Amino acid sequence: MAPTKLSDDQVKSALKNVPAWCLSGGQIERTYVFKDFVAAMAFVNRIAEYAERVQHHPDVLIRWNKVTLSVSTHDCGGISEKDFTLAAAADGMSA
Amino acid sequence: MAPTKLSDDQVKSALKNVPAWCLSGGQIERTYVFKDFVAAMAFVNRIAEYAERVQHHPDVLIRWNKVTLSVSTHDCGGISEKDFTLAAAADGMSA
């Protein structure tokens, strides 16, 4: 079953649970800052392992110690609950 | 010694040696396409190991099976020979 696209109000409400994330260009997005490139890459590899396991892959931009994740759900043409699950999981992996 | 910033003509000439790369927003850039996310991440990790070893880090954007590298040299405020060395090395690691 394809995930359900959330309404704008639902997205706004769900963002309250992951307050460091924001809406940007039809995706939800967060930039994490680490102490250096090696720490950033360790996070990226944790994200990659998770993404492959749940088969839901964010866009990942690495700029030395900064990692930006952007995610939406192609199957529903918007933002779904899956994106917020990934956002919360990524927050948990960033510490 | 800080690397030397290449002139526009020198950049144009050097791009002939890495023809899949292009000039974009003051950096040189290439997008690689792999068979899937796992193959893309394997390439990203090879790039990360190289970047850390030579202490020259490209920006890396991962979009499932696509990896875009963008690089310039902060120390010279432009594009240097180091960027083309990284470009050629990345091309060698992408096969």
Contact A62 B64 (CB under 8 A): no
User: What pLDDT digit, counting tens, does each position of A37-83 carry?
Assistant: 999 999 999 999 999 999 999 999 999 999 999 999 999 999 999 99
* Interface probe with B: pick from A43, A44, A62, most Cβ of B within 10 Å: A62
Q: How far, CA to CA in Å, does A11 sit from each of A6, A16, A28, A66, A72?
A: 6, 9, 9, 25, 11
Contact B37 A59 (CB under 8 A): no
pTM value?
A: 0.96
Give me the mean pLDDT over the A15-25 stretch.
97
Q: Please give the pLDDT value at position A48.
A: 98
Give me the mean pLDDT over the B37-49 stretch.
98
Do A8 and A79 form a contact (C-beta atoms < 8 A)? no
Q: Assess whether pLDDT exceeds 80 at residue A26.
A: yes
Sheet harboring A27-33: ordered strands across? Answer: A22-24, A27-33, A66-71, A59-63, B59-63, B66-71, B27-33, B22-24
User: What pLDDT digit, counting tens, does each position of A68-77 carry?
Assistant: 999 999 999 9
Question: Cα A63 to chain center, whole Å?
Answer: 16
Q: Which of B38, B52, B63 sits opposite A59 (nearest CB)?
A: B63
Contact B37 A57 (CB under 8 A): yes
In degrees rounded to 5, what are phi and psi of residue A72? Answer: -145, 180
Residues of chain B above pLDDT 90, percent: 95
Q: Between the CA atoms of B81, B29, A86 and A94, what dihedral angle is there, to the nearest 10 degrees? A: 10
User: What pLDDT digit, counting tens, does each position of B55-85 carry?
Assistant: 999 999 999 999 999 999 999 999 999 999 9
Q: Assess whether pLDDT exceeds 80 at residue A1.
A: no
Strand pairing category for B22-24 and B27-33: antiparallel
Contact B59 A62 (CB under 8 A): yes
Q: Please give the pLDDT value at position A2.
A: 78
Q: How far apart are the C-alpha atoms of B90 and B74, rounded to whole Å?
A: 19
**Model ipTM over 0.90:** yes
Label residue B95 by pLDDT band (50, 70, 90).
confident
Strand partners, A69: A30, A60
**In chain B, which residues have their Cβ closer than 8 Å to the Cβ of A44?**
44, 62
Q: Please give the pLDDT value at position B2.
A: 78
CA distance B35 to chain A (A): 14
Domain annotation for chain A: domains and CATH numbers: 8-93 (3.30.1360.20)
Label residue A95 by pLDDT band (50, 70, 90).
confident
* Number of cross-chain residue pairs from A and B with Cβ atoms under 8 Å apart: 35
- Tokens, residue B83: 């960027």
User: What pLDDT digit, counting tens, does each position of A81-91 carry?
Assistant: 999 999 999 99
Question: Cα A57 to chain center, whole Å?
Answer: 8
Q: How far apart are the C-alpha atoms of A46 and A66, rounded to whole Å?
A: 15
Q: Assess whether pLDDT exceeds 80 at residue B21.
A: yes
**In chain B, which residues have their Cβ closer than 8 Å to the Cβ of A63?**
59
Tokens 């040299």, located at residue: B73
**DSSP state at residue A26:** T
Q: Please give the pLDDT value at position B10.
A: 97
